[in-house]
Chain A
Amino acid sequence: MTAVLLLLRKDLRVLLRSPLLLGALVAYPIVIAVLVGLVAGYASSKPRVAFVDEDNLPRVASVAGHRFHLQTVIDDVAKQVTLVRLDPTEAARELADGKVVATITVPPGFLGDLETTVVTPKLILQTGSGGLAPRVTQQMQSLVYQLNLKLQAGYISANLEFVQLLLNGGKGHFLGRSFDVLGLARTQQELAAMPSSERVAAIEHFVQQARVGLAQTGSALRATANPIALKQAPAHGRTWLLSAQVQSYGIAVTVTFLALLLAAGATAAERDEGTIGRLRRGLVSFGELVWAKVALAGVVGLVLGLALVVVFGVVVEAGGVTGGEPWSRLPLLLAGVLLAAGAVGAAGALLGALAREARTASLLAVLVVLPVVFLGLVPRGAVSVAYWISLFLPFAHAVRLFGAALYDTSPWGTVGIESAWLLGIGAVFGALARLGARTLSA
């Protein structure tokens, strides 16, 4: 154990005396994490959509006797996309330039068609060729669906008013004309006052059936208007914002890159400096040598991981982002970072032992780290081979562990499983590195 600590202290001292290497080791993964964040952020950002109102929509419109707050609907849309009011020419130009990803046009006569309830009014969506266009199309389809639901509710209410008029009687209005309706209830009363006869009894029976039948109209209309309703179940964890994914991936990328490169370089350096011969003369066993490199990866990964977590936490707090507990889960997350860095460090030690030269080891680590990261990004259903390979590499487990530690309401199940995976992977790589270290002194 003493030998491990002595080598660890030596390696940390050597690292601190290599400012260029230290700077690159710190900067490179942060740059990668920022790029991942930017890409992910772009994917989640509100697309800019031009809103061309050729019908001069009022803030409030009356449809089927109901008032609709059109501005509220537009505000709802603006939660999904950034709506920019433009005239048709500007909108076309910005769409062509890619400054907006789509234009949504309210054509002249739209409101009139809506109010008559005779013609189906149409909104015109035109999308560009950017990667976000399909998402905008989906959002607009969703918007029209939501809009139709609101209008449908209005139409059903309007129809039900006529049903109520038929049931109870009273004064009705249609296409600007007023009229009186007797109503089934009063008809039944009138029939009851008439002399009994077979014909009157038959009419009374019909009126009774009609009243019962019409009383069910509201439920039937609503049910047939929306045969299937979509109800969103509450999420199992805290709000899974994209920032959570960015945070997990950012830390995992940083730790993987740093730990792999550092452990590989430090292991191979023992041969480069000729010290492996001295060490293995009973001073340090191969196991202790590997442990020292694993510890180096763990300690440095922990320090940099902590820095990243603090930065992310501050950003989350400052941005008022809901979801996640950046501070209270810090110890759990850092334990995960240490474990992940150690597992990756064991893989790095193996690389270093196989490469036998620090330069080759560093190059190999850089070449290996990107495929490892990208394999971990492949979803399970996309490419099953990639998923299975990533299962035996530390990156994907680290991402899941960090995500659970930060954002799951009950993280222990995932944390336990992923920790077990990381321990197992680390142990296998460590054992292989111990075997490989023999070649260093050959």
Chain B
Amino acid sequence: MTQPLLRALQVARRYGDVEALAPTDLELAPGETVALVGPNGAGKSTLLAILAGAIEASHGKVETHARVGWVPQRPAHYARLSARENLELFARLEGVRDPAGAATQMLERFALPTVARPSGELSVGNRQRLNVAIALLGEPRVLLLDEPTAALDPGQRRRVWEVADALRAEGGAVCFATQNLEEIEHAGRTIVLQDGRVVTLTVEEVFG
């Protein structure tokens, strides 16, 4: 059996008395795309952040066997720096050998503005594309996307899915959270979450 690229074992997260995520297991196998579906507050973002290592699990552990890229729901970059400067900074932090070259490549790939304009002044769509571009800097084999297309126009959405499909085709794995039922078609497997737990309900049942 192929070793999963990422495995979560009974990961859970509590904020005081509130259980944001009940103990959950998840495996991402090479070539797999998994959709996390559920209403607001279902625990999708928390699960993805734990898988990415952005927040600590209160319980359980995550095993990773490949580089992981994470696209948080809210664009996470320095608003006073330009798109290029953000890309170069995160490329250096990721240990990319040619940070300037990697930044140029991402700017072209995601059609991001090359002018020295603070990224905080970019359009919502451009900021979201920059968000995705930063996640891909370390050439990850696992891509975790938290509602990546929420602010994008159809063309930009297509570009994001092209990136995800290409990664999967190369033997990587993709896990994305969404509330857009049309996007489930990109997934080979769907996990439904409600109130911080994986449920056996169908998507239609969850959204009523």
Measuring CB to CB, which residues of chain A are less than 8 angstroms from any residue of chain B? 2-3, 6, 10, 13-14, 17-18, 273-275, 277-284, 438, 441-442
> Do B79 and A279 touch (CB < 8 A)?
no
CB contact list, B72-99 vs A, under 8 A: 72, 74-81, 85, 89-90, 92-94
Chain A residues whose CB sits within 8 angstroms of the CB of B134 once the complex forms: 278
Q: Which residues of A contact B118 (CB under 8 A)?
A: 17
A14 and B81 within 8 A (CB): yes
Q: Inside 8 A of B54's CB, which chain A residues have their CB?
A: 277-278, 280-281, 441
* B52→A274 contact, CB < 8 A: no
* Smallest CB gap from B68: residue in A: A281
> When chains A and B are docked, how far (Å) is the Cα of A430 from the Cα of B1?
47
Closest to A438 in B: B56
Could you tell me if B53 and A278 are in contact, using CB atoms closer than 8 angstroms? no
- Check if B198 is an interface residue, CB within 8 A of chain A: no
State whether A279 touches B93 (Cβ < 8 A).
Answer: yes
Are A278 and B90 also in contact (CB < 8 A) when A14-B78, A14-B81, A18-B80 are? yes
Q: CA of A282 to CA of B90 in the docked complex: distance in angstroms?
A: 12
> Which chain A residue lies CB-closest to B79?
A273
Fill in one digit per residue for B89-112: 1 if any A CB lies within 8 Å of its CB, else 0.
110111000000000000000000
Report Cα–Cα, A14/B120, bound state, in Å: 12
Measured in the bound complex, the distance between the Cα atoms of B80 and A43 in whole Å is: 45
State in angstroms the CA–CA spacing of A137 and B12 once bound together: 75
- Cβ of B28 < 8 Å from any Cβ of A? no
- Given contact pairs A6-B93, A280-B53, A438-B56, a sample of 10 additional A-B residue pairs in the complex whose CB atoms are under 8 Å apart: A2-B92, A14-B81, A17-B80, A275-B76, A275-B77, A278-B72, A278-B76, A283-B94, A441-B55, A442-B55
Q: A10-B81, A281-B54 are in contact. Are A274 and B74 (CB under 8 A)?
A: yes
Instruction: List 6 contacting pairs A-B, 8 Å CB cutoff, sorted by A.
Output: A17-B80, A275-B76, A278-B72, A281-B68, A282-B53, A283-B94
A-B contact count (CB 8 A): 62
User: Bound complex: CA of A113 vs CA of B81, how far in Å?
Assistant: 84
- Bound together, the chains give a CA A3 to CA B94 distance in angstroms of 10
Given contacts A283-B94, A442-B55, contact A277 B89 (CB under 8 A): no
Given contacts A281-B52, A281-B53, contact A274 B80 (CB under 8 A): no
Chain A, interface SS category: helix
Most chain B CB atoms below 10 A, which of A14, A17, A274, A438: A274
Contact B76 A284 (CB under 8 A): no
Q: How far is the CA of A442 from the CA of B16 in the complex (A)?
A: 11
Confirm or deny: B49 has a beta carbon within 8 angstroms of a beta carbon on chain A.
yes
Chain A residue numbers with a CB within 8 Å of B52 are 277, 281
The distance in angstroms between the C-alpha atoms of A330 and B68, with both chains bound, is 49
Q: In the complex, A275→B78 CA distance in Å? A: 7
Residues in A with CB closer than 8 Å to B76 are: 273-275, 277-278
Given contacts A13-B81, A13-B85, A281-B52, whether A274 and B72 have CB atoms under 8 Å apart is yes
Q: How far is the CA of A283 from the CA of B52 in the complex (A)?
A: 12
Inside 8 A of B80's CB, which chain A residues have their CB?
13-14, 17-18
Alpha-carbon distance between A277 and B74 when the two chains are bound, in angstroms = 11
Q: Which residues of B contact A13 (CB under 8 A)?
A: 80-81, 85
Q: How many Å from the CB of A266 to the closest CB on chain B? A: 11
CA distance A199 to B171 in the complex (A): 140
Residues of chain A within 8 A of B74, CB atoms compared: 274
Nearest-Cβ distance from residue A11 to partner chain B, whole angstroms: 9
Q: How far is the CB of B67 from chain A (nearest CB, A)?
A: 10
Of B55, B68, B92, the residue contacting A6 (CB under 8 A) is B92
In chain B, positions 50-73 with a C-beta closer than 8 Å to chain A are 52-56, 68, 70, 72
Check B55–A10 contact: CB distance below 8 A: no
Q: How far is the CA of A294 from the CA of B131 in the complex (A)?
A: 28
Which of B72, B78, B94 is packed against the most chain A CB atoms within 10 Å? Answer: B78
**Cα distance A187–B204 when bound, in Å?**
139
Provide the residues of chain A in CB contact with B53, threshold 8 Å.
Answer: 280-282
From B15, B49, B85, B92, contact of A277 by CB (8 A): B49
Residue in A278, A284, A441 whose beta carbon sits within 8 Å of that of B70 in the complex: A278
Contacting pair B55 A3 (CB below 8 A): no
Closest to B93 in A: A283
Q: How far is the CA of A13 from the CA of B86 in the complex (A)?
A: 12
Chain A residues lying within 8 Å of B90, measured Cβ to Cβ, are 278, 283
Chain B's closest residue to A275 (CB) is B76
Give CA–CA (A283, B94) in the complex, Å. Answer: 6
| Residue picked from A6, A275, A284, A438, most chain B C-beta under 10 Å | A275
A278–B76 alpha-carbon span in the complex (Å):
7
Q: How far is the CA of A280 from the CA of B76 in the complex (A)?
A: 12
A430 CB to nearest chain B CB (Å): 21
Residues of B within 8 A of A6 (CB): 89, 92-93
Separation of A274 and B77 alpha carbons in the complex (Å): 7
Could you tell me if B78 and A277 are in contact, using CB atoms closer than 8 angstroms? no
In the complex, how many angstroms separate the beta carbon of B150 from the nearest chain A beta carbon?
15
Between A275, A278, A438, the greatest number of chain B beta carbons within 10 A of the residue's beta carbon is seen for A278
Known: A274-B72, A280-B54, A283-B93. A10 touches B15 (CB 8 A): no
Query: How many Å from the CB of A280 to the closest CB on chain B?
Result: 6
Q: What chain B residues lie within 8 Å of A280 (beta carbons)?
A: 53-54
